[in-house]
Amino acid sequence: MLGDGKLIRFWKDKWLGREALEVKYFRLFSISNDKVANLSQVSSWNNNQWFWKLEWRRSLFEWEEREANQLVNFLNEKSLAKDIGDHWVWKTNENLGYTVNSTYKCLITEVEGDFRSIYKFFWSLKALPSFMTTVGRVLADRLPTRVNLEKIGIVLDNILCVMCGEEEETGSHVFFLMQSSLKVWCFCCKWLGEKTVFYCNAKTHLL
């Protein structure tokens, strides 16, 4: 939740709209003097009014001036709070905050067809909330694997699995395709006296 802007990066965080300003206004970002500044560093209060003070490393061309004006108009759709700090909000339920139940409802709305029964089955189990949350993240591919971290802009040396170093680190690889994971699955099936075919992802595997 936007407060005084001290914890939110102006260009790099998604604080206004669905994409970061460095993406929406890439040309302006490329000539900005404050590429990693937070909101409070590129703005100021004056007579109880909020003003933006964006600085560029050179004079703007005419078309860049127009884009800069568009950016300021876009920025004016939001106003910072002078005496309230930035803080996280669980948008699924802003009043109660994060709960396992709200996570389930959020995930289940994204599931269609036969996959819906998988979620209902797991969330009906009497298990620890931490286990249920992990299951939900595996099914929805929300684990912080190297591939997923790269997707959200985190720079890594490589995206190979840290355990085997042979394949890209995805949820499917870690839980179903890696040799050590397959051995665990085979051991469990042998212990239960069951025979099965192992699939490459959680949803297909559990259908």
How confident is the prediction along the chain (207 residues), in pLDDT tens digits per residue? 566 667 888 898 888 888 888 988 988 999 998 888 888 888 777 777 777 888 899 999 988 899 999 988 888 877 666 667 776 677 766 676 777 777 766 666 655 555 666 667 777 778 788 887 887 788 778 889 999 898 888 888 899 999 898 889 988 888 888 888 888 888 888 898 887 777 666 766 665
Task: Report d(CA 148, CA 82) in Å as an integer.
Answer: 35
Q: Are residues 5 and 83 in the same domain?
A: yes
Can you say whether the dihedral through the CA atoms of 153, 156, 157, 158 is positive or negative? negative
CA distances to 4, 30, 55, 56, 60 from 35, rounded to whole Å, are: 19, 8, 10, 10, 16
Q: Are residues 27 and 48 in the same domain?
A: yes
Q: Are residues 153 and 203 in the same domain?
A: yes
DSSP letter (8 states) at residue 42: G
What is this structure's pTM? Answer: 0.45
Confirm if 139 and 203 have CB atoms less than 8 A apart.
yes
Last residue of a domain, one of 64, 88, 112: 88
Q: Are residues 33 and 70 in the same domain?
A: yes
Q: Are residues 166 and 197 in the same domain?
A: yes
Q: What is the reported pLDDT for 115? A: 61
Q: What is the reported pLDDT for 146? A: 92
Q: What is the reported pLDDT for 87? A: 66
β-strand partners of 51: 44
Q: What is the reported pLDDT for 186? A: 87
Q: What is the reported pLDDT for 72? A: 87
Q: What is the reported pLDDT for 172? A: 85
CA distances to 5, 48, 87, 171, 188 from 81, rounded to whole Å, are: 8, 11, 12, 40, 55
Please name the residues in contact with 143: beta carbons below 8 A apart, sequence gap of 6 or more: 137, 171, 174
Question: Containing domain of residue 115, as a range?
Answer: 90-140
Domain count, the chain: 3
Q: Are residues 97 and 112 in the same domain?
A: yes
Q: Are residues 95 and 17 in the same domain?
A: no
